[in-house]
């Protein structure tokens, strides 16, 4: 498991999955979408290239918000929006955001609505999201194409 943020107030890591290809990770994202509640913040944790964005491809399909191919990394644009019939997803990448001031300019509070879900990569850099997350999905490299994926929800 990625280290750094404590998992107090989160379920124990009972929801663990292994995937062996990016396709399997996208499939898992489709399934996990059913577990995510509108109005929540989801932290996606894992090293560069772990598969966070790959998982979002499946989550977006699970919400009928976008086709997997249409979901790309918001590395430079920082926020991508995908609207489904019931839920709007905001896929956010904070890798390049280092200061509170930079974070403030993104006005993420304005995106938090009862019918939105924020999927945040590198959100654990900020204490606020480490605390506020409703769900956390941690991805660990286990060999070339193998990943261990842990799904946690706030208790």
- How far apart CA 117 and CA 137 sit, in angstroms, is 14
Q: Tell the smallest beta-carbon distance from residue 145 to ligand ATP (Å).
A: 4
Q: Tell the smallest beta-carbon distance from residue 121 to Mg ion (Å).
A: 5
Q: Of how many residues is the chain composed?
A: 155
Nearer to Mg ion, 15 or 73 (CB): 73
Q: How far is residue 108 CA from its own chain's centroid? A: 15
Q: Tell the smallest beta-carbon distance from residue 44 to ligand ATP (Å).
A: 7
Sequence-distant (6+) residues with CB within 8 A of 89 are: 56, 59, 60, 63, 65, 66, 81, 82, 83, 116, 117, 119
Residues 99-128 that bind ligand ATP (CB under 6 A): 121
Which of 80, 91, 133, 147 forms a contact with ligand ATP (CB under 6 A)?
A: 147
C-alpha dihedral, 146 to 62 to 106 to 128, nearest 10° = -70
Task: Decide if residue 77 touches ligand ATP (CB under 6 A).
Answer: no
Q: How far is residue 116 CA from its own chain's centroid? A: 13
What is the contact surface with Mg ion in residues (CB under 5 A)? 52-53, 73, 121
Which of 5, 25, 97, 129 forms a contact with ligand ATP (CB under 6 A)?
A: 25
Catalog residues that contact ligand ATP under the rule CB under 6 A.
19-22, 24-25, 46, 48-54, 73, 95, 121, 145, 147
């Amino acid at each position: 498991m990625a280290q750094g943020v404590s998992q107090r107030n989160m379920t124990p890591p009972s929801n663990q999955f292994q995937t062996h290809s990016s396709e399997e990770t996208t499939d898992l994202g489709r399934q996990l979408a059913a577990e995510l509640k509108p109005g929540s913040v989801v932290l996606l944790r894992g090293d560069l290239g772990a598969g966070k964005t790959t998982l979002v491809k499946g989550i977006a399909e699970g919400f009928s918000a976008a086709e997997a191919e249409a979901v790309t990394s918001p590395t430079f644009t920082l926020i991508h929006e995908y609207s489904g019939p019931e839920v709007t997803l905001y896929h956010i990448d904070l890798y390049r955001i280092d200061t509170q001031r930079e974070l403030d300019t993104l006005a993420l509070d304005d995106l938090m609505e009862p019918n939105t879900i924020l999927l945040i990569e590198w959100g654990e850099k900020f204490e606020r999201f480490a605390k506020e997350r409703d769900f956390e999905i941690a991805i660990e490299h286990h060999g070339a194409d193998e990943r261990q994926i842990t799904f946690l929800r706030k208790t």
